[in-house]
A and B are shown apart, each in its own frame.
Chain A
Amino acid sequence: MTVNVVGKRVKRVDAVAKVTGKAKYTDDFMERDMLVGKILRSPYAHAIVKKIDVSKAKALPGVEAVLTYKDVPDNKYATAGHPYSLDPKHRDREDRTILTKKARFVGDEIAAVVATDDLTAEKALKLIDVEYEVLEPVLTPEDALKENAPLIHEEYDNNIISDFGYQIGDVEESFKESDYIFEDEFETSIVQHCHLENHISYAYVDADDRIVIVSSTQIPHICRRIVGQALGIPWGRIRVIKPYIGGGFGNKQDVCLEPLNAALTLAVGGRPVKIDLSREECMIATRTRHAFKYKFKTGVSKDGKLIATHITAISNNGAYASHGHSIAMSAGTKFRPLYSFKSIKFDPVTVYTNLPAAGAMRAYGVPQIKFALESHMENIARKLNMDPIEFRRRNLLGEGYVDPLNGNKVLSCGIHECIAKGKELINWDEKKEKYKNQTGIKRRGLGMACFSYASGTHPVGLELAGARIVLNQDGSVQLQIGATEIGQGSDTVFAQMVAEVLGIPVDMVHVVSTQDTDISPFDTGAYASRQTYVTGMAVKKAALEIKEKILNFVWGMTDIPAEALDIEDANIVYKHSGEVVMPLSKVAMQTYYDTVFAKPITSDTSNNARVNAMSFGVTFAEVEVDIKTGKIEVVEIFNVHDSGKIINPQLAEGQVHGGVSMGIGYALSEEMLFDEKTGKPLNNNLLDYKLPTIMDTPDIGVAFVETHDPTGPFGNKSLGEPPAISPAPAIRNAVLDATGVAFDRIPMTPQRVFEKFKEAKLV
């Protein structure tokens, strides 16, 4: 193949649509007489609706419907974007109804109105009279775990969603073999995805009496199923359409609006109804990232070998289970392929509190555990008086590691090379020497942190992905996938894969970017950094099938055996010489119009991945800390990734830039704040929630160590989420290096830093 587009900086297939404003997002489609749906939210974190009177709201001119919990199906359902499981024990906790009689966080959904316009809908909400019995709010996991704590969900015996963990080996025995035992505690905060497009959907009933939902979702096929479950109607009666979406980062891997939206259109005879959350609503009533508290007890030998670790974790899940305990278990699983421990005990507990529900967010529990673990590693190295990089190196696992619990095998691992490259890029040795013995107000320091991650969810979740290709008359092809483009660039890398296999230029591959559950192949969607790896294999298989059919067709036309032929630059060529036999377009025309042999060439295939490739990487950071103000500036930061073969370096760099920037926000500024007594949100807007602006973001250095994973379609492994994992601990470790102060909590806001410096008598 001479085209060789895999590995090239191919321009995004949707870039022109997006720079011209032609790309259509959910809010950009106009349905005639679209009605407005708005939600009445609880002002209390924990309360029961004693009385609700909607008569005044219903009487307001322009109001078409008012629904409360009494008017919607009482089916309990789970909202997490996980594949359905035929095993009931493996399903997510079903703890939601479309509207609720019991408020479990400030913002919980009590009633909804449908009106002709926004203003009327807002007025109607104010006309709903609700009498609440206010209950004691449970705002911290510690309070939720207390005996006799108020129950957030009465149908369960306590506020624990799950406390399932694991043990590998025997940590107590291993501690006895250890020369030293080190203990640390860490804490992370609740943060939010802040995708630029808020959650939005609209729904109507079509001429065939089916419910059509257009939604900004990462998971259209899963969404269809969950709407069916919530409404108690056959899944095939629902059609979900996903156009371009303005970011998701996991928050749209959850079904937040669509069941209510379906109920609202049904309440108005199938007329179109739109629910368009405000930023303030979106920040509390969709999902957040779980705050974790971690305790580590780790046994180490004199020569710096890790022997055992006992990890205790408390995960604050908020009011509803959503992804629930999967987040803690993902954390407890994905760190394992990095360092060698003889024994590991992982004791997580995931609890309900009266705060917004936490769900999936980029890297799914791993940024939390890696902040804790990599900070812990740094503390241990210092106590052992060892170089922190050498300490980590001594304990790395590498190729050949087979996970004892899930059987996943590390077949490619470039972590040593990543570390070496990062060290060189930041000029580690020279700067370490230079920054010794600083005493001024502004002090610099260096830190690093490593991570491991997975590509998809196997074997925990089903990893099914579909792809369909049609050869057009001119030799171009259409590619349909059920996998979703959410900004990460999946449509472009899939186009490259098809072009590579078929020997045609990328611009001859038309990717159908919109997913429509009536038309698109089945795929569970964008999460777990799975699509380039799992869906990529489906795309490759479909393209190989198309190629085989084309060459066989040419065999019929020319009597040149298929195995003697290839496709290069949209021509059929002799494989041995490259000499052109005929243009691909000629073959394509024959497949449509030959009076005897016409048979359009298509493929429709799927990939059920039962493999999982581990990706690795490292962040190196340099900070300057202002001792007097507590301000931390990231001076330099480099992320080096082993994500296997890089399909498109430009898009891959873009993923790293965005992930690192999210990691910097996680380390230094982002935090959702709630009133300690009432649970009311204090900063659910983009002014008070400190998202990094362009002024806060330093130059972000990116490098790749390209390994080849034999299980990836082109040797590739996960990349979407991993860049967000290791910046926070690397920055924390750099601050420790600069100041000698070991932070155990993020974000390291100037306030918190200043207080800690005062405690350490630096100021």
Chain B
Amino acid sequence: MLKKISFTVNGKEVSLEVNPGETLLEVLRKRLGYTGVKKGCAVGECGACTVLIDGTPTDSCIYLAVWADGKEIITIEGIAEDGKLSKVQEAFVEEGAVQCGFCTPGLVLTTTAMVQSGKKYTREEIKRELSGHFCRCTGYQNIIKAVEKSLED
């Protein structure tokens, strides 16, 4: 039984019929072509598939597509504006926070949400916010630097 849902992805309105068992990850990647959303474990352990749902970083692999009805979704493809990198993206490039790049979209999105919150974060708080993201390449060192740089005024 298909269910019709409507939501926005990166500001663009989308309406489509989904199977109730389909995850948001599958719909974004396979149906809509947002391949910047990565699948690392499919069970909410690694954070690679993170997208912003109404501004909140969420594992799209364990978020059913039907739940996205009426929501605003932001994927990594929606972060750069008019081809210009966001402050967060710039910081990840500048600080060498990218290696294989597979965890990068999720981390950029969580960091974006932190910046948008307007809050101040200590280093420990930054770590806590990012603790749902695995990275096997960087030892997280330059990622923390990139997040700190993103949060600078």
Contact = CB atoms under 8 A, between A and B. Distances in A.
A and B interact physically: yes
Nearest to B126: A694
Contact of B36 (A22, A486, A657): A22
A487 B137 contact: yes
Contacts of B52: none
A278 B61 CA distance: 13
A244 B41 contact: no
Nearest to B144: A694
A18 B98 contact: yes
Given A196-B38, A196-B134, A694-B133, A14 B101 contact: yes
Contacts of B35: 21, 24-25, 27-28
B139 interface: yes
Q: How large is the interface on B (under 10, 10 to 19, 20 to 34, 35 or more residues)?
A: 35 or more
A301 interface: no
A279 B92 contact: no
A246 B38 contact: yes
Contacts of B41: 279, 685-686
Given A196-B135, A686-B45, A695-B127, 13 more contacts: A15-B98, A20-B79, A25-B38, A27-B35, A27-B39, A196-B134, A246-B102, A487-B100, A657-B140, A687-B43, A693-B131, A697-B140, A700-B141
Contact of A16 (B37, B85, B99): B85
A195 B100 contact: yes
A197 B94 contact: no
Most chain B CB within a 10 A radius of its CB, from A21, A23, A279, A660: A21
Contact of A249 (B103, B104, B136, B141): B136
A129 interface: no
A691 B139 CA distance: 11
24 contacts: A11-B93, A19-B89, A20-B85, A21-B35, A21-B75, A21-B77, A195-B102, A196-B38, A197-B100, A246-B40, A246-B102, A247-B136, A278-B42, A279-B40, A279-B46, A487-B101, A489-B99, A654-B96, A654-B99, A657-B141, A658-B99, A686-B40, A686-B46, A694-B144
A194 B128 contact: no
Contacts of B101: 14, 17-19, 23, 244, 246, 487
B42 A279 contact: yes
Contacts of A24: 35
Nearest to B146: A19
Contacts of A197: 38, 40, 100, 102
Interface string B71-109: 000011101100001000100111010111111110010
Given A27-B39, A650-B96, A196 B138 contact: no
A272 to B, nearest CB: 14
B139 A697 contact: yes
Contacts of B46: 196, 279, 686
Contacts of A22: 36
Nearest to A247: B100
Nearest to B128: A695
A226 interface: no
A658 B137 contact: yes
Contacts of B105: 19, 21
A686 B131 CA distance: 13
Nearest to A25: B102
A110 interface: no
A196 B96 contact: no
Interface of B: 29, 33-43, 45-46, 48, 75-77, 79-80, 85, 89, 92-94, 96, 98-105, 108, 127-128, 130-131, 133-144
Given A19-B85, A23-B101, A246-B38, A654 B127 contact: no
A244 B115 CA distance: 29
A345 interface: no
Q: How large is the interface on A (under 10, 10 to 19, 20 to 34, 35 or more residues)?
A: 35 or more
8 closest A-B pairs by CB: A21-B36, A487-B100, A246-B102, A661-B139, A18-B101, A657-B139, A21-B76, A28-B35
A20 B99 contact: no
B83 to A, nearest CB: 9
A16 B93 contact: yes
Contacts of A15: 92-93, 98
A91 B2 CA distance: 55
A393 B1 CA distance: 72
Given A195-B136, A654-B142, A686-B45, A12 B98 contact: yes
A685 B100 CA distance: 20
B100 A245 contact: yes
B61 to A, nearest CB: 11
Nearest to A28: B35
Contacts of B77: 20-21
Contacts of A654: 96, 99, 137-138, 141-142
